[in-house]
Amino acid sequence: MTLVDLKFAERLKHDLTAIKPVKTHEQVANEIHMAPSALSNLKTGRRSATREVKQSLVQTLGSLKLAMSAARSEFGVLSFLDDKKRRLDSPFTTSLIQYKEEQERIQIQHDYNLAICKKPQERTAEDIAVIKDYFKEYLEEIASEETDVQAKAIDAGLDDELQAMINQFNRQYGG
């Protein structure tokens, strides 16, 4: 039995609520050949969705954020979508945040290189702190890049095409 993915359930609940004026939950369930009660169990986190069901939901709802949430759980893709600092306010904002995060990582790159080159038993507490800080900065940079790409795709009206590009990349390089 697979573990319930509460982040996916939360994102699904959000996306189902967002489309409610256009489509009912029952209509979504029918489109993916699922009982409405089963869909309800997925959105509340009482049950987990298979990869195929997640894929069907993503296609039916047309949600890039739901696709990224599914990728996080199915393929171990890093997900930072709930980080309030990385909201999709505008492509300009996300570009500035991405640039800032990249510069912060670059600033500690030299100290990281010096610390990581030492044998583990010869590293000082300061070296270990620099190594940890480097990985923290690197993850923040990755998060801001992911958010920036999403914001730009949404602003350009290419969120569906972006998902197709991500799928193609995953097929080509394994994801």
pLDDT digits (tens, 9 = 90+) for 38-69: 988 888 888 888 888 888 888 888 877 787 77
Q: State the Cα–Cα distance between residues 47 and 108, nearest whole angstrom.
A: 43
The class level of CATH for 6-75 reads mainly alpha
Cβ atoms < 10 Å from Cβ of 21: 7
86, pLDDT greater than 60: no
Contact 148, 95 (CB under 8 A): yes
Both tokens assigned to 12: 């699904």
Which pLDDT value is given to residue 146? 84
The mean-pLDDT minimum among 13-17, 33-37, 130-134 falls in: 13-17
175, pLDDT greater than 70: no
**75 or 169, which is more confident?**
169
| pTM, entire model | 0.51
Q: State the Cα–Cα distance between residues 40 and 35, nearest whole angstrom.
A: 9
Contact 66, 15 (CB under 8 A): yes
Which pLDDT value is given to residue 2? 46
Domain ranges for the chain, please list them: 6-75, 84-157
85, pLDDT greater than 60: no
Q: State the Cα–Cα distance between residues 42 and 99, nearest whole angstrom.
A: 37
Mean pLDDT of 127-148: 90
- Measured over the CA atoms of residue 41, residue 45, residue 51 and residue 55, the dihedral's sign is positive
Task: Report the candidate in 79, 97, 88 with the shortest Cα–Cα distance to residue 151.
Answer: 88
